[in-house]
Structure 1
């Protein structure tokens, strides 16, 4: 039952159960749409996840000299560096970070495949 106020009169309006069930999922659908838009249009975001009900957006931003900074909700949490002489990647994560070594290995693989950008004036 929904109470609808029109002018000075208060009416009770019956809402079908199916409609109520759909409306209960609306916040979930809204969050899923926002997640999909972030992943589709932000090229620096390789993934996002939820921790204790809060969205955690991971950004891997390319810097000069084969360096990438990793941000979690716009806060710096680590870096990835490519050494041109050894042709190997090295990374660092801040203490008490939600990201794990497996996350960073995934980002390194994305960089190697060209799915995350390098700075254009950088020589590999």
Structure 2
């Protein structure tokens, strides 16, 4: 809600006294901006705590990290020299979401070594 308020505030005419009298004073806006920044940090902390849960799936982790990247774009850059492959990541998300029918050729090839073959499983059982 605060984010929307500040987005709309940019488009208001501050010279129109009939509207400005209903808006918080500049000092309150500064405090609200600080609160918005703090709320973003709390989201980061809540995701970090949620990752420690026992019922967390890889799909949950992917969704949470995508959300964190929208809040803090610097999280998208990895300090590691070895970057993950986007085809493999996309395939994992589709497989975990039960959407294997939409796998692209490159995604299918990326996860092929991990595919569970029913014939092999039946022979082992």
TM score, norm. by length of structure 2: 0.27
Larger helix share, 1 or 2: 2
Larger strand share, 1 or 2: 1
TM score, norm. by length of structure 1: 0.28
